[in-house]
Amino acid sequence: MKIHLTSVFVDDQAKAEHFYTEILGFVKKHDVPLGEGVRWLTVVAPDEPDGTELLLEPAGHPAVKPYRDALVGDGIPLAQFAVADVEAEYERLSALGVRFTQEPVVTGPVTTAVFDDTCGNLIQIATQPR
């Protein structure tokens, strides 16, 4: 068993597509129209085109808003992405205008930082020791 697909709820799929591809650097894998402006829109890591897909899922379900509002209100990231160097990624993303809610923090062998994905979520990036 392995994880094939996971999702983040987004307020606007076009805005999310731009942020997740042009800013974060993911690559679009699937973009299938499902009617009325909704798409099956997934992205993957550029170095793992057949790896785990991230579905940029419309946040239309009534349970999504209170759930995300509670997470954001408490500063809890919805997802975590691995990066080779949190400090370098923090600098790169900050230069692109990404707003961080937590600057890089070293906790034992792990370094993390948290940013706002502009689509209603907090996302954590982490570097773990090799």
Pairwise pLDDT comparison (129 vs 114), residue with the higher score = 114
pLDDT attached to residue 20: 98
68-73: long-range pairs with CB below 8 Å, 24+? 68/9, 68/120, 68/121, 71/121, 71/122, 72/120, 72/121, 72/122
pTM above the 0.85 mark? yes
Residues 6+ apart with CB under 8 A from 60: none
Which of these, 122, 111, 125, 96, lies nearest to 21 by C-alpha position?
96
Q: What is the CATH number of domain 5-127?
A: 3.10.180.10
Q: Spell out the domain ranges in the chain.
A: 5-127
66-90 tens-digit pLDDT: 999 999 999 999 999 999 999 999 9
